[in-house]
Each structure stands twice: as C-alpha cells, then as structure tokens.
C-alpha cells in the first residue's frame, strides 16, 4: 500500500506538470482523489464510463489517463457524467490525467516511444509549446517501404499517404491528432510525418507538397505514455499495474 499523495507527487514531477501550457479543459494532474491509499495502478488512454468500470472491476485504485474528464466542463452532473464520477467514487479509484506533458516527455512520452519503436533517436523538437516541444524529429536512413512495413507490424491499422521521399532523411512524430502539427511539418524541412489521425484536406497538401504521411490511429499512438508512467510507478513503489484497454479503433 502506498500513499496517494506520494504517487501524485512523483507523477507531477516526472511529467513536468507545471511547465506545460495545455488546453484549460485538460486539467492535468489529480482530477479525483480516493481515500488516500493505493494498492493497484491502472493506465488507460481515455476517461470514460467503460474504462472506469473495467478499472474498478480490476481493483485499480489509481488510474492514469491521457485524456481526462474535464474538457467541456462545467457540466451538470447528470447522465454519463454522473455515472463516470460515481463509478470512481464508489470504487475508491483516484484519477490522474496527463495530456501534453505525457506527449512531450523525452523518455516516457508518447512521441519518444514512437521514435524508439522504429529504432531511432530524437534529434530535435517538433511542434513547439510553452514548456518545450510536444513531438520529435528523428534522422532516418531506412526506405519509405521499410518504415511503412515496421509501422504495419506495430499498429492494427496504418493509412499510408506516400508522395514524399522514397528514403526520407528525417521523420517527424506527433501522436494523436496531427492536424495542429502540419504547419510545423511544412516549416521543418522534413517531408515525413508519423501521427495518429488527420483531416481529409491534408491529402491534397501531401500531393502538392510531396509529403509522406502515416496515420496509425489516435488511440493506438497514445497508449504508450500512460503505460510507461504506470510501469515506472510500479517499479518505484512496488505496486502491480495493468493497462485498461478499450479496443478503440479511431
């Protein structure tokens, strides 16, 4: 058993919580407390009724999520919002959320893991934000076909849009939604982006600007950070942990 405050303090420090400007609704950090004791850690991408029910059923009492509860608050505590909160409260499950800080972390962040999965190393930051870059650009020697094959071996669905270099010199990484990263990609000099999802109009831009775009799923590219943070907590505090999967295909 570990004090909730000790886990929260570790997460706040490890993710550099106060250094990153995020959307107000992200509300990074502890979003809901429990009775102050933790015996089992869970990790999930999204705050939602089904992940919460699964976590409580597994006796998780400290759940880390990437997308927290409060994006569109204030809201009346009725319907699904009420169900979410009461599920956690009745299950004595604390909720900790980390959005951009966990995208950006150079070791356990979503983008750092995306880079390492391809056997590459971050060379420079990508998509600047208050507190540091959110994504990374890595130097590359492999062919475009090898990159596509590696991604297809890692992710259940990969959309490949290939109008750029057959052997890209640099690859940019932005987990989740890549829409806000496209301007940074065009300005970076890199012609290849690995991301989660993009709007339809970027296909035309890829044709016109000779880009390679690899869309691996918003959810699928953002499982990494919460898993890595939960695993670190487990090792440091001697607590079991598990990933709460929802099989989100988007």
Chain segment 68-89, per-residue pLDDT in tens: 999 888 889 999 999 999 999 9
Q: Taking 90 as the threshold, does the pLDDT of residue 243 lie above it?
A: yes
**Average pLDDT, stretch 113-123?**
96
Q: What is the pLDDT of residue 1?
A: 81
| 52 lies in some domain | yes
Please give the tally of structural domains in the chain: 2
144, 142, 141, 134: which is closest to 111 by C-alpha? 134
Does 72 share its domain with 122? no
- DSSP code for 220: G
- Note whether 17 and 62 are same-domain residues: yes
Instruction: Confirm whether 239 is domain-assigned.
Output: yes
Q: Label the pairing between strands 2-3 and 37-38.
A: antiparallel
Tell how far CA 24 is from the center of its chain. Answer: 17
Task: Quote the mean pLDDT of the chain.
Answer: 96
Does residue 249 lie in a domain region?
Answer: no
Label residue 157 exposed, middle or buried (CB < 10 Å: 0-12, 13-18, 19+).
Answer: exposed
* Domain of residue 121, residue span: 104-221
Same domain as 178, residue 114: yes
**207 and 108 fall within a common domain:** yes
pLDDT at 205: 97
Statement to judge: residues 123 and 60 lie in one domain: no
Residue 127 has pLDDT above 90, yes or no: yes
**Predicted structure pTM score:** 0.95
* 248 is a domain residue: no
130/32 same-domain check: no
Considering the domain architecture, whether residues 217 and 120 belong to the same structural domain is answered as yes
In a domain, 29, yes or no: yes
- Residue range 147-164: mean pLDDT, rounded: 97
Q: What is the CATH number of the domain that holds 78?
A: 3.40.1390.30
92, 58 in Cβ contact below 8 A? no
Phi, psi dihedral angles at 130 (to 5 degrees): -55, 120
170 SS3 class: strand
- What percent of the chain is modeled with pLDDT above 90? 94
Question: Within this chain, do residues 90 and 112 fall inside the same structural domain, yes or no?
Answer: no
Poorest-pLDDT segment among 21-25, 97-101, 148-152: 21-25
Domain assignment of residue 217, yes or no: yes
The answer on 186 and 82 residing in a single domain is no
**Pair 88, 173 in one domain:** no
- Residues 122, 64 within the same domain: no
- Whether 42 maps to a domain, the answer reads yes
* Residue 250 domain flag: no
* Same domain for 131 and 39: no
pLDDT tens, 12-30?
Answer: 999 999 999 998 889 999 9
**What pLDDT shows up at residue 25?**
86
Mean of pLDDT values over 203-208 = 98
């Amino acid at each position: 058993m570990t004090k909730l405050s000790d886990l929260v303090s570790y997460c706040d420090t490890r993710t550099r919580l106060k250094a990153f400007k995020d959307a107000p609704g992200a509300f990074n950090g502890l979003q809901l407390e429990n009775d102050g004791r933790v015996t089992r850690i869970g990790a999930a991408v999204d705050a939602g009724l089904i992940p919460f029910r699964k976590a409580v059923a597994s006796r998780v009492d400290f759940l880390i999520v990437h997308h927290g509860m409060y994006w569109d608050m204030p809201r009346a505590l009725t319907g699904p919002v009420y169900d979410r909160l009461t599920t956690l409260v009745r299950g004595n499950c604390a909720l900790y959320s980390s959005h951009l800080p966990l995208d950006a972390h150079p070791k356990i962040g979503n983008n750092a893991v995306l880079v390492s999965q391809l056997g590459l190393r971050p060379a420079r930051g990508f998509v600047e934000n208050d507190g540091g870059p959110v994504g990374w650009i890595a130097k590359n020697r492999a062919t475009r076909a090898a990159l596509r094959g590696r991604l297809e071996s890692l992710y259940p669905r990969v959309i490949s849009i290939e109008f750029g270099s057959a052997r890209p010199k640099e690859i940019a990484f932005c987990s989740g939604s890549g829409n806000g990263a496209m301007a940074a990609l065009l300005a970076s000099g890199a012609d290849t982006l690995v991301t989660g999802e993009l709007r339809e109009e970027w296909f035309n831009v890829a044709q016109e600007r000779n880009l390679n775009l690899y869309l691996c799923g918003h959810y699928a590219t953002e499982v990494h950070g919460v898993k890595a943070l939960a695993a670190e907590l487990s090792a440091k505090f001697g607590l079991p942990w598990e990933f709460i999967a929802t099989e989100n295909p988007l």
